[in-house]
């Protein structure tokens, strides 16, 4: 498929990630398209870390399209649950975000105070081609805790349960601009922008 401008494939079909990354990287010259547009099959995410899985996704998208590929592997780490949901955050329970949130609340039952601390992790990897030996790697972390019940109407994933300050305000209560400034993905994007010279 011929494109007028250089395309970067986002190695994900997640519409929420695509929106956030298009907003965050819109002025860098990267024209982000979802891998779904090019019928890229899902990568096998059998790595044990966010970095390994992000690299697998980026390489898979680059191999299938020939374009530069950007992969985001991110998730929620809860120490009280031995790091779960971790690299399995998107598929913690069958049924998508709502089911994942219900399962997390069930698993957190009985935990209080510091036991409810958690953090989001985001690893961004940019591959300039399938054989790129020197990918750009940027990581970001966002610390908070798991709220007792969901609140807020924006965001996606665990945002309704991820309390970001002492008031109990969740990531799903933040504006897109505020979330971009504070979030794990926002921090990883800032580091990637530095590496791209922006």
Which tens digits make up the pLDDT trace of 49-63?
999 999 999 999 999
Distance CA 150, CA 139 (A): 27
pTM of the model: 0.89
Residue 164: inside a domain: yes
Percent of the chain with pLDDT over 70: 97
> The domain spanning residue 185 has which CATH number?
3.90.950.10
How many CA atoms within 13 Å lie on the side-chain side of 33? 18
Asked whether residue 81 carries a pLDDT value surpassing 70, the answer given is yes
Tracing tokens 């649950």 back to the chain, one arrives at: 81
Q: What's residue 4's pLDDT?
A: 52
Residue 161: inside a domain: yes
Query: What tokens does 95 get?
Result: 């049924």
Residue 2: inside a domain: no
- Enzyme catalytic residues: 73
| Mean pLDDT confidence for 1-30 | 81
Which tens digits make up the pLDDT trace of 26-38?
888 889 999 999 9
Residue 1: inside a domain: no
Asked whether residue 15 carries a pLDDT value surpassing 70, the answer given is yes
Residue 152: inside a domain: yes
Q: What's residue 2's pLDDT?
A: 45
Q: What's residue 1's pLDDT?
A: 44
- Give the single-character DSSP code of 29: T
Higher pLDDT, 88 or 2: 88
Which tens digits make up the pLDDT trace of 129-179?
989 999 999 999 999 999 999 999 988 899 999 999 888 899 999 998 898
Orientation of helix 184-196 relative to helix 15-25, angle to 10°: 40
The number of folded domains in the chain is 1
Cα–Cα distances in Å, from 111 out to 65, 108, 126? 46, 6, 38
Distance CA 127, CA 62 (A): 7
Residue 16: inside a domain: yes
Asked whether residue 5 carries a pLDDT value surpassing 70, the answer given is no
172 in Cβ contact with 155 (< 8 Å): yes
Average pLDDT, the chain: 93
Q: Determine the structural domain holding residue 71 and report its residue range.
A: 7-196
Residue 13: inside a domain: yes
103 in Cβ contact with 92 (< 8 Å): yes
């Amino acid at each position: 498929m011929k494109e007028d401008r250089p395309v970067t494939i986002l190695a994900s079909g997640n519409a929420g990630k695509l929106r956030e990354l298009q907003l965050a990287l819109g002025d860098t010259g990267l024209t982000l398209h979802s891998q779904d547009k090019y019928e890229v099959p899902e990568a096998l995410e059998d790595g044990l870390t966010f970095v390994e899985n992000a690299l697998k996704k980026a390489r898979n998208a680059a191999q299938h399209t020939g374009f530069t590929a950007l992969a985001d592997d991110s998730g929620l780490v809860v120490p009280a649950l031995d790091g779960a949901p971790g690299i399995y955050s998107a598929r913690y329970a069958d049924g998508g975000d709502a089911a994942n949130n219900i399962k997390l609340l069930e698993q957190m039952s009985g935990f209080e105070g510091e036991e409810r601390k958690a953090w989001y992790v985001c690893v961004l990897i940019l591959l300039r081609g399938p054989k790129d030996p020197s990918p750009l790697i940027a990581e970001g972390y966002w610390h908070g805790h798991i709220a007792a019940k969901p609140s807020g109407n924006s965001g996606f994933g665990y945002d309704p349960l991820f309390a970001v300050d002492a008031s109990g305000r969740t990531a799903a209560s933040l504006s897109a601009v505020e979330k971009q400034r504070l979030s794990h993905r926002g921090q990883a994007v800032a580091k990637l922008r530095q590496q791209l010279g922006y």
